[in-house]
Amino acid sequence: MVTVNLWSGLRRLTDGEQAVQVQAGTLREMLDALVTAHPGLGPVIKAGVSITVDGVITPNMNTPIHEGQEIYLIQRIKGG
C-alpha cells in the first residue's frame, strides 16, 4: 500500500480525507486505484495532475513506487 497525499481541493471528492491509501506498484497503477476508490477524482486526474515522489515532480507514469515514499498529488504544474 502507498499513501497518496491530496491537495485541499480534492478532499471534497474523498470524503474529506487528506491522504488515501491504495495498492499500486507504479504511478499509473496508483492513479487507476485512486479513481477506483474515489470515482469523483476521475475527471480531475484525466484533466491532468502533477505527482511528486519524495519531493521530485515525476512525470513518468511507469515509475515504480513503494510503501514509505512521500507521494503528493498536486495541481498540474506547467512550464512556460
Query: Residue 42: its pLDDT value, please?
Result: 96
- Arch. (CATH architecture) of 2-75: Roll (3.10)
Instruction: Compute CA distances 76 → 36, 47, 48, 62, 80, whole Å.
Output: 21, 9, 6, 18, 13
Q: What is the chain's pLDDT, residue by residue, as a tens digit (80 residues)?
A: 999 999 999 999 999 999 999 999 999 999 999 999 999 999 999 999 999 999 999 999 999 999 999 999 998 866 65
